[in-house]
Chains A and B, each alone.
Chain A
């Protein structure tokens, strides 16, 4: 850490690390300086010329993104000269901008709009015709380009040059004839393409999946964690409940990466970003059921379901021994879920080794050096920390079990025909409808809880919307069955489960449910088993 030095910001004496960019130091002091080209994850080319300040002793205005803090620096971002320069820079940015806000999907979260309100407010004197470029260019699976709206801040080209190193986009040409475009013949189809939409400060790059569905100002934002892989990227879940007809009833409208220097920086992958769709998909299981003798599912209330499952398990365990019951569990389940599961298994007398959490073939995928992990589950480390085996598949149990309780992963295939089969989860998968019992699980966007990522960092999931239909989080199901078996599970919310968990589980000792926004490392570090 650089040493702290004193300098003057807008006449106020403040402190910042020596060498920090003034634009960042100002932000830390609550002073916003408008900017386009600067992005902390993409560098400071200093080309937009918007973040202007006055520095005492400098012959002309300076850019806060190109000025480093040093002892005695006297910088003003709110002097008349700086403010006029900021306003005029905005005017230049808008000189060739089409101002088609009413039909622009970025409206409401556009930095041209926001900055005009806060730093512009001049009377426009542009009377000339604007330059015309391509308005609607489908450049990739997820992204639409409008060249006219582009202000050539080069954030996206720096992203594909320096972050993904895939080089699909570039600024071609010269002067105001320059255009942002794909390299001829290429498509923006890298695994992180959606990020260019996030970093585009204007409406030049919009999200084909989201555009024209709902205006940004109708959205609610909930900080959470993507459960798409063992990285556990910090995200914001954007939900639309104010104008449900705009998204055809879909409550979750999109995911956005949430800055977390310890996990994902500013980015997330497309796989995770567009994985949110399962929340409102047709495959959602909204109610619980049991297969009747006629082979047809009969609906059950949650209370009935828990009571009947408990009764059947008690009998089967008594007759055949509890060691014949297997739990096939997705390692995306939260720590609270797994803590409840542990309690349930203990009550039933089922050994912990009967729980299979190792990712199945359908839970493994691509990995790269940027973010994506090959285990497409969020809480492998948490499961290991709670004492579950996370490396062994179900093979060892084959032929030795009379029952399989599957949670949040592909159905049990070859175990069809066992006396007890239960599938629990949010989205129906192959084989899930062949289970005798089906319990409706909450989606991760509907879930409060904690997960531990591959590096041992504990992060908070937050429910952005309530569970759909009669679905419930896994810990609630396990708790209900446990109670029906006569056990104690005195918890009504995930926070209460976590309090019990951190008291009981040494790996989580001392942790509080209200985690810091970047999460914290497990006090004793990452469990060994999770690394396998």
Chain B
């Protein structure tokens, strides 16, 4: 833990106190502002000084040990004093395939310090990050959470010298391809060719806010009925029918407390970046969806909880909210809240814990968040894309939306595709579209090589062989039929040069790093599997290792609180079952 930080006498300046007070007053409870306040303190000091715990605890009405638990939990808060500019290079799967290892080596050499340590001038520190949500720009990098795209040597050098001359680079409003090739049934990405789609004026040209105008005149129950008819499902990964979720919110006539609507914009699943792209290109669609959903579930408070690394996207959404507000389009205000870079915050109940200023330890339902959620209020947590689709449902009508997809799963969705494809990016297709169509849209396998494996829904989903992927319909139920999941629709294509031991190592290492540590099987199993795989990739595998990995997998799966834990097991079991030869090749002498 970071007890080494200086404990010298400490007080915030009047100006700093003003800023911190602002966080304490921004939300219905003081402690909801804690994580963002701590981010600010980290930015001011390059750490959260131990001596600041007291003043912060007082300000936010918690104990000092609460502050320190939070600080040592979230990766945004550094273990030692970080550089003024924190350079992060993604080391996760898609970026690894694109040469992240070399970038990291070069960076370490250029800065001359080990990971996490500040350079002697205090200007830089660097870290190998776990997925920055930019697999379409692999290997991706960021400086102080400004996502800067592909980490070519030139781009990294330019960023460093910009920082040195006091002009740190800012993420462009959009680092996504300007016009992704969309299926002709596109709803969300329809206007993507339009560079100013993120402005209210252009958004309205595409019929923006008409759905909201319509919904504003509808009874809340009728909105939910329409959404149910549409068969739209949760696109954050779970695929739970949206209308059904909304219906579980108890009406205020039963329990008269505020309701909350939380947009889960904590996209962090390796292989998934669609929320980032649609947020920066089409923010008004989200705001429209939020207004509609909030009316349906009688929400008093609306939040967009955004992963910390999406700094530019946060600016885009906040600008759009301001614009919509000025135009009188908002019945309810929308506040954008930033996390502190923990993957687990993306799990809905952990997200609520983060919002409440705590460690992101998932809760154990029941009760479900729709009954007891944020601050104990009934809370609907929906993914970014899900709520954007809600706006489309109201625009085209529930039946028409449903007709675009497959039975039980209506409409279109945005797929992220990365790895060994020619044009990684976000492509919108109706649910049930064959895998080949998506692959073709992305320009096919890079260099025309053969596919070795397909990860269908982000690295948390069990791998598919080319045979399983052939002709596979991309929808929730078809994927379940193959023993995998559509998840958040993050497809990673792996060609025949890839070694599956490396792939599984990267996935398990990610889960080990991100495991919150609450449940024993996941906390211990993820690290155990990672250490075995690390040994195997160094050629020190033992004959029983593959079976042991499967056994660890079986023993974690289904015994833990949240889905991250299940992933630890499921991913390993599928990988070893389907690519055992790769693992047996790594057996060595011990």
Contact = CB atoms under 8 A, between A and B. Distances in A.
Q: Do A and B bind each other?
A: yes
Contacts of A175: 512-517, 523, 526-527
Nearest to A44: B364
A63 to B, nearest CB: 8
A152 B521 contact: no
Interface in A74-106: 84-85, 88-89, 91-93, 95-96
Given A128-B535, A181-B1, A47 B528 contact: no
A61 to B, nearest CB: 6
Contacts of A171: 69, 517
A152 B73 CA distance: 15
Contacts of A178: 517, 523
Given A48-B520, A173-B73, A183-B65, A92 B525 contact: yes
Nearest to A152: B517
A185 interface: yes
A174 B73 contact: yes
Contacts of A50: 520
Contact of B519 (A47, A61, A167, A168): A47
Contacts of B64: 167, 183
Contacts of B470: none
A117 interface: no
Contacts of B68: 170, 172, 183-184
Contacts of A125: 544, 548, 551
Contacts of A93: 520, 524
A176 B72 contact: no
Which one of A92, A125, A127, A171 has the greatest number of beta carbons of chain B within 10 Å?
A92
Looking at chain A's contact residues, the main secondary structure is loop
Interface stretch (B222-230, B492-500, B556-564): B556-564
Contacts of B520: 47-50, 89, 92-93, 151-152
B7 interface: yes
A52 B559 contact: yes
B555 A61 contact: no
Nearest to B557: A60
Interface in A174-217: 174-179, 181, 183-185
Contacts of A91: 555
A482 to B, nearest CB: 59
B527 A176 contact: yes
A162 to B, nearest CB: 12
B559 A95 contact: no
A171 B359 CA distance: 10
B548 A170 contact: no
Contacts of A47: 518-520, 561
A173 B560 contact: no
B3 interface: yes
A265 interface: no
A50 B523 CA distance: 14
Nearest to A154: B518
A324 interface: no
Given A92-B555, A128-B535, A176-B515, A185 B527 contact: no
A184 B512 contact: no
A129 interface: yes
B61 to A, nearest CB: 14
A181 B1 CA distance: 9
Contacts of A185: 7
Interface in B64-79: 64-66, 68-69, 72-74
Contact of A170 (B69, B556, B559): B69
A422 B82 CA distance: 73
A89 B526 CA distance: 13
Interface string A22-53: 00000000000000000000000011111010
Contacts of A179: 1
B559 A61 contact: yes
A174 B72 contact: yes
A128 B528 contact: yes
Nearest to A129: B531
Nearest to A47: B518
Contacts of B65: 167-170, 183
Contacts of B16: none
B161 to A, nearest CB: 34
A84 B535 CA distance: 27
B552 to A, nearest CB: 8
Contacts of B330: none
B417 interface: no
Interface string B217-242: 00000000000000000000000000
Contacts of A84: 555
Contacts of A167: 63-65
A168 B516 CA distance: 22
Contacts of A177: 517
Given A171-B69, A184-B68, A128 B532 contact: yes
A136 interface: no
Contact of B516 (A61, A88, A170, A174): A174
B488 to A, nearest CB: 22
A127 B524 contact: no
A92 B521 contact: yes
A122 to B, nearest CB: 10
B186 interface: no
A456 B236 CA distance: 61
Contact of B72 (A96, A131, A172): A172
Nearest to A92: B524
Contacts of A183: 64-65, 68
B527 A96 contact: yes
B517 A173 contact: yes
Interface in B500-555: 512-521, 523-528, 531-532, 535, 542, 544, 548, 551, 555
A246 interface: no
Which one of B364, B520, B523 has the greatest number of beta carbons of chain A within 10 Å?
B520
Interface string A357-400: 00000000000000000000000000000000000000000000
B555 A85 contact: yes
B524 A176 contact: yes
B15 to A, nearest CB: 27
A126 interface: yes
B527 A61 contact: no
B50 A49 contact: no
A151 B517 CA distance: 11
Nearest to A91: B555
A8 interface: no
A35 to B, nearest CB: 12
Contacts of A61: 558-559
Nearest to B558: A60
Contacts of B558: 60-61
A177 B66 CA distance: 18
Interface string A483-514: 00000000000000000000000000000000
A206 to B, nearest CB: 21
A66 interface: yes
Contacts of A48: 519-520
Interface in A119-139: 125-129, 131
Contacts of B527: 95-96, 131, 175-176
13 contacts: A46-B561, A47-B520, A49-B520, A66-B364, A95-B528, A129-B531, A170-B69, A172-B1, A172-B68, A173-B72, A174-B342, A174-B515, A176-B526
Given A95-B527, A176-B523, A184-B7, 19 more contacts: A47-B519, A66-B364, A89-B520, A89-B559, A91-B555, A92-B521, A92-B524, A95-B528, A125-B548, A125-B551, A126-B528, A127-B532, A129-B531, A151-B520, A169-B65, A171-B69, A172-B68, A174-B516, A184-B68
Nearest 8 CB-CB pairings of A with B? A88-B555, A172-B1, A60-B558, A92-B524, A128-B531, A172-B72, A170-B65, A175-B515
Interface of A: 46-50, 52, 60-61, 66, 84-85, 88-89, 91-93, 95-96, 125-129, 131, 151-152, 167-179, 181, 183-185
Interface of B: 1, 3, 7, 50, 63-66, 68-69, 72-74, 342, 359, 364, 512-521, 523-528, 531-532, 535, 542, 544, 548, 551, 555-556, 558-561
